Chains A and B, each alone.
Chain A
Amino acid sequence: MSAVQADLEAILCRIPYARFLGMRVELHGDEMTGVLPYSERLIGNPSLPALHGGVIGAFMEMTALLQLSIAERLMRQPRPVDVSIDYLRSGRPTDTYARAMIKKVGRRIANVQVEAWQEARAAPIAALHGHFLLTPREG
């Protein structure tokens, strides 16, 4: 396991809400993928059934936070300032993946875009873009 993967596992382990979601991460080179294994309690619409939109948003937000924490030297976890979520397809009862792209990092604010998908990367189920407040490490 690489040092970065170990760091990520440690961060995920420390965040109770990440464990509540049951979220994992996979790291291939410098590319991180958030993984949200399907679980019945993530369902928001039991009829279809479909994953809860809030859960998909929360998962993408967490993926953005993790991507920032491995890309930047930060003193503490970034905090979301605002997020905008587009829902493109209903989330089927299966595993969901997400990848975050950091579009710009300023002194205090980072702009991040995230896409979530299930069966096909080319058919995303949701997208998020947001701003996050950073507290850089001194020196």
Chain B
Amino acid sequence: MTEESLAERIMSLSPQSRALGLQLVSTAPEVVLRIPYRSDLVGEPDTGVLAGGVVTTLLDMACGWATVAALETPTSIATLDLRIDYMRPAEPGRDILASARCYKLTRSIAFVRALAYDQSPEDPVAAAQAAFMLDSNAGRGPGANLAPPPPRRKRT
């Protein structure tokens, strides 16, 4: 995907990205995203440290877009698993950034690594390792999730 169309897609934000005030910093060589510090995203009221959940969501977003950036033909993707190490609390008052790189792409899976930091990637706040499923909509069209889930098959 070209850098322009990737940037365009990232900035046609999902409701959650809009709610977090997500910003695009760069698309190459790594996807870098930023969430500006905001008091309503704080997880520790006594210290003003951003909630771990904000870092989790930012890392998931950065990994997802790094996957999209690595794909030749755009397809739907879904997080399969996400592992996060929290190295230190983010500095209160500072924006949080995440840079992600897809380091292996197979026909069905993308493997991605990411770092979250508030000043420099040399001193990370958190690190993530994720796997994404490609073509995750697999024939399910827009609005597929609005219908109730099909009855579950009994495993034999």
Which residues of A are interface residues toward B (Cβ below 8 A)? 14-17, 19-21, 40-50, 52-55, 57-59, 61-62, 76-77, 79-87, 89-90, 92-93, 119-120, 122-123
Contacts and interface: CB of A to CB of B under 8 A. Distances in A.
Nearest to A83: B84
A16 B53 CA distance: 12
B51 interface: yes
Contacts of A77: 43-44
B149 interface: yes
B152 A83 contact: no
Given A44-B16, A49-B145, A53-B60, A17 B54 contact: yes
B23 interface: no
Given A41-B16, A81-B85, A83-B83, A54 B60 contact: yes
A16 to B, nearest CB: 4
Contact of A54 (B18, B56, B148): B56
Contacts of B144: 48
5 nearest A-B pairs in the assembled complex, by CB-CB distance = A58-B53, A54-B57, A17-B51, A54-B60, A52-B16
A17 B152 CA distance: 35
A5 to B, nearest CB: 20
Interface stretch (B24-32, B34-42, B100-108): B34-42
Interface residues of B, number: 48
A48 B44 CA distance: 34
Contacts of A15: 42-45, 51
B40 A16 contact: yes
Given A54-B59, A123-B149, A86 B143 contact: no
A57 B149 contact: no
Contact of A42 (B16, B42, B43, B81): B16
B15 A40 contact: yes
A87 B149 CA distance: 16
Nearest to A42: B16
A62 B56 CA distance: 11
Q: Which residue, of A40, A42, A48, has the highest number of chain B Cβ atoms within 10 A?
A: A48
B80 interface: yes
B80 A17 contact: no
Interface string B110-153: 00000000000000000000000000110010111110110010
A29 to B, nearest CB: 27
A93 B83 CA distance: 24
B53 A54 contact: yes
B34 to A, nearest CB: 15
Most chain A CB atoms below 10 A, which of B15, B39, B42: B15
A43 B14 contact: yes
A50 B60 CA distance: 14
